[in-house]
Amino acid sequence: MLNFALAIFLLISTPGPGVLSLAGVGAAFGFKSGLRYLTGLFIGGNLVALAVVSGLGALVLANPTIRLVLLGASTCYLLYLAARIALAGSNIAFSPARRQPGVRDGLLLQAVNPKAYVVNTTLFSGFPIFPDAYGLEVAAKFAIINVIWLGIHFVWLWAGSAVKRMALPPRTQRVINVGMALAMLAVVGLAAWSAF
């Protein structure tokens, strides 16, 4: 179980679309908006895990066309989120504060996030805890994953919203927002590069 917990920590804490976008939402829009977005990520992550456990995730990952469609959809959605984060609080933004990222945005990101499928497939197909009791193993893994997942994601949200609470000058805040957006774009680039 300790190896499983360490694997969860390493797989989830590494920068990916979920944690980077969460920190970006916290930095651009604050903790309260980040909590709504975190809720969506959490629900979406658990739905992806259920898809993996039920076998649907294996079908999705086994089909190159579906994988490519997911990669394309997640890339487009991350570009959209990166733009909203980069333009938050700037004078040239196309109404960034009218609708801040919320539950729906987090849910959508997880639904098209290839990393979520790969991580859950790795965690649920490996690391046997109760090899003779599949139901108990799945329940235990869900519990362990969610506890660690929530802790890591709250830290990323706190770090992002800490930047917002510092009341930095608008130019500095804009630089941070753009930096967060560029980090998300780097993840998109790495995902596209590894897919091809």
Rounded average pLDDT over 54-60? 77
Task: For residue 10, tell me if it sits in a domain.
Answer: no
Q: Which residue in this structure is represented by tokens 């130019």? A: 171
Q: Any idea how long the chain is?
A: 196
| pTM of the full structure | 0.76
pLDDT classification of 50: cutoffs 50, 70, 90: very high
Does 12 fall in a domain? no
Confidence band, pLDDT 50/70/90 cuts, at residue 97: very low
Query: Is residue 81 included in any domain, yes or no?
Result: yes
Domain count for the chain, please give it. 1
In-domain check, residue 47: yes
User: Which residues in 32-65 are b (16+ Cβ under 10 Å) and which e?
Assistant: ebbbbbbebbbebbbebbebbbeeebeebbeeee
Query: Does any domain span residue 9?
Result: no
Of 8-17, 141-150, 185-194, the one with minimum mean pLDDT is 185-194
Tell whether the model's pLDDT for residue 196 goes beyond 80: no
Domain that holds residue 139: 17-190
